[in-house]
Amino acid sequence: MMRPRVVGRLLVIQRALVRHGLDDFVRATHLYRPFRFLAYLSPWTWFQRSTGKTRGERLRLALEELGPIFVKFGQALSTRRDLLPVDIADELALLQDRVPPFDSEIAVATIESTFGRKLEEIFAEFDRTPLAAASIAQVHAARLKDGAEVVVKILRPGMREIIERDLGVLEALAALADAYWEPSRRLRPREIVAEYRKTILDELDLMREAGNAAQLKRNFQGSNLLYVPAVYWDYCRSNVMVMERIHGIIISRIDELKARNTDFAKLAENGVEIFFTQVFRHNFFHADMHPGNIFVQVDDPANPRYAAIDFGIVGTLEARDQHYLAENFMAFFDRDYARVAALHVESGWVPRGTRVDELESAVRTVCEPIFNKPLKDISFAQVLLRLFETARRFDMQIQPQLILLQKTLLNIEGLGRQLYPELDLWKTAQPILRAWMRDRMSPRTLFTGLRAQLPDAIETLKAVPRIFKAGVRAAADGDLPWTQQGVQLAELRATIEREHARRESALLAGTLWIAGLLWLALGAPHPVVGWVQLAAAAALGLRLRWTRSHPAAGG
């Protein structure tokens, strides 16, 4: 049963939508149909008047009124000009940097209460007119006592209570969908809202955002692709953050970039390279890359450089998901539909019992018409939408852990095509992916991984004799549960013998491994001896793993 606060919020949402002339859109939405009676009973519906505003303006104003979660939804939509009418996309783009600010006196009071000092004691200068206002916080320009130009980000007051309230609404709607909407098992609305809850609440901790910025800056240290402003840690708290002020042109100001003779092709391709580098090389990506958060530094127009702000939302992937995504991208653009289908089954994105040949045929049906176009004309948004439609037949489940990545990829593509309509996403992404996959399987990477796991392997080897002795003692004392003693004793004897052989092999492998490492590390003559020892250890390790998974073959 929904709590009164949630029902009250639904009424507020309905009133705002009706006031801005959007009630027809809501009544057409499947999940809102159970609440149609609210519209018919509502006096706002009876007395609504024409607003005289365009549909784009009405939608933007409604989202602004409804608060940060809805503003962020509009920001994400604004980059998808290939999916939205131009008038709506233009209006929603205003949500990126024209959210109404809160009173600067509140901002000053927040700073002074947070640091326990007067504003004049903290900053040499502080501009009380906000530099920018966003859905979660607003930013003021300032100067530190040492003369450094900075920006001060202050959390909007009462933001956690507002977010928690709207998350309650989303959770209630997700529960309704889970109970009454058949596709919900595949779309997993409760898990999606739970994932979004973690993401949005993380944004409310500006210390976390400062940490994200510092990590991203380290990742791109010395790179000409992306500039990340420095964090002034002594001035950072959970609700106030101070960073280096950067100068550049907001990426949505296309005319200004044109006037500076910016190389748009290079700019668009660099954006794609930044995204794939973050996802696959660094496994740490900026996941809120709408145009209001991206600047372009055009000191050298032929080599424009991105500069990013607002690091409240970042994403990472498990190694397994990273691998399957890269493989899927490669198979998709190689038109290897059998591989795409097999990867979806292997990854668990579709049920294990799915027939790969049927899924392959369905993927081919979606993709072949698309590939009749030049690669530069292929939209990932359209491909994903078509694939999702096809996947319904195979009970494909939404992967909540991939939602941030999908959103960011679509944002990047939308932004790239806005900058340079001829952008060939695959031409830029393919070399990065191929290099990453080669690097993952290189001997150096494998050796580094083995070396990192060596301490754990040694500790495991130390535990083998103790486990073995405990097993033998239990067998001798008759503490092992078996019913057919004669048969099981024979099996136990064989098992003990195999374990004894494995233990000796494991000890030998460990000894060879350590000896090989020491031989190479000490620079002994004939380094080939060290490599032979390492190879022998690796071979013994692989044999142990194989006999463990095939016990009958180990006797």
pLDDT of the chain, 555 residues: tens digit per residue:
456 666 667 677 777 777 777 765 555 444 445 545 445 445 544 445 555 778 888 888 888 877 777 777 676 666 555 556 778 877 877 775 566 788 999 999 999 999 999 999 999 999 999 998 877 889 999 999 999 999 999 998 888 888 888 888 778 777 877 776 666 666 667 777 787 788 788 888 999 999 999 999 999 998 999 999 999 999 999 999 999 999 999 988 899 999 999 999 899 888 888 988 998 889 999 988 777 789 999 999 999 999 999 898 888 888 888 888 888 888 887 888 888 888 888 877 778 788 888 888 988 887 787 776 665 666 666 666 666 666 667 776 666 566 677 777 777 777 777 788 777 777 788 888 888 888 776 666 656 656 666 666 666 666 667 776 776 776 666 665 544 455 555 665 666 666 666 666 666 666 766 766 665 665 656 666 666 767 777 776 666 666 655 555 554
| Amino acid sitting at position 351 | P
Q: Which of 272, 199, 264, 202 is nearest to 420 (CA)?
A: 264
> Could you give the count of Cα atoms lying within 13 Å of 124 in the half-sphere of its Cβ?
8
Tokens coding 364: 């081919």
Place of tokens 């097999």: 342
**Whole-prediction pTM value?**
0.67
CA distance 517 to 510: 11
C-alpha of 257 from chain center: 29
Specify the DSSP class assigned to residue 198.
H
- Taking residue 543's Cβ as centre, other Cβ atoms within 10 Å add up to 14
CA distance 146 to 155: 25
Q: Which of 197, 199, 193, 164 is nearest to 6 (CA)?
A: 164
Specify the DSSP class assigned to residue 401.
G
CA distance 172 to 431: 45
Asked if 142 and 152 count as a contact pair (C-beta separation under 8 A), the reply is yes
CA distance 416 to 264: 9
CA distance 398 to 178: 14
Place of tokens 């505003």: 53
List 23, 288, 310, 424, catalytic entry: 288
Annotate 110-130 with b (16+ C-beta within 10 A) or e (fewer): bbeebeeeebeebbeebeeeb
Task: Let me know if 300 is a catalytic residue.
Answer: no
> Could you give the count of Cα atoms lying within 13 Å of 446 in the half-sphere of its Cβ?
8
CA distance 236 to 208: 10
Q: Which helix (H) or strand (E) holds 238?
A: none
Q: Which of 164, 169, 159, 135 is nearest to 11 (CA)?
A: 169
